[in-house]
Amino acid sequence: METSLFEKKVRWADGYILVYSICDRASFNSVSRLIQTIRSAKDYLNADKVPIVIVGNKKDLHHRRTVLSEEGRLLALNTDCHFYEVSAAENYHSVLMAFQGLVDRMKDGKLTAKRPLGLKGIVKSMSAVFARRRIDSI
């Protein structure tokens, strides 16, 4: 059986954040397929324990919502993933919490003994990304 290019690309990662738009049903539908693809591509004995966080983005556009929060929570529950609903446009704190949730799952699974993880590193990276966006838009 030949491995797809996507499967080859996801094998190196220790954890995954899958983001969909709450305003786009197709993006939500693709998340469950991605979870199965990721888990089948990983070489773990317990592939069902691969750290995955599902993020519903664009929470600020609730008036255009086509995917209910409950649907995201149910998908996360059924696939043993963590779930967050965020608005990257309004602030990055909720985005930071989603990344911290992934880091916590990775630490719990002891999958990343090769490099240190921590909140300070994530805060620094997220601050750099959002600062760059503000500078680029000026």
What is the model's pTM? 0.73
Would you tell me how many other CB atoms lie within 10 Å of the CB of residue 14?
18
- Among 124, 106, 129, 5, which Cα is nearest to 51's? 106
> What's the mean pLDDT in 53-82?
95
Question: Does residue 7 surpass a pLDDT of 90?
Answer: no
How many angstroms separate the CA atoms of 46 and 89, rounded? 36
In CATH, what class is 5-137?
A: alpha beta
pLDDT of 22: 97
pLDDT of 133: 54
Q: What is the DSSP string of 18-69?
A: EEEETT-HHHHHHHHHHHHHHHHH---TTGGG--EEEEEE-GGGGGG--S-H
- Break the chain into its structural domains and give their ranges: 5-137
- Note the pLDDT tens digit of each residue in 17-67: 999 999 999 999 999 899 988 888 765 545 557 889 999 999 999 999 999
- Among 103, 99, 100, which Cα is nearest to 116's? 103
Question: Does residue 9 surpass a pLDDT of 90?
Answer: no
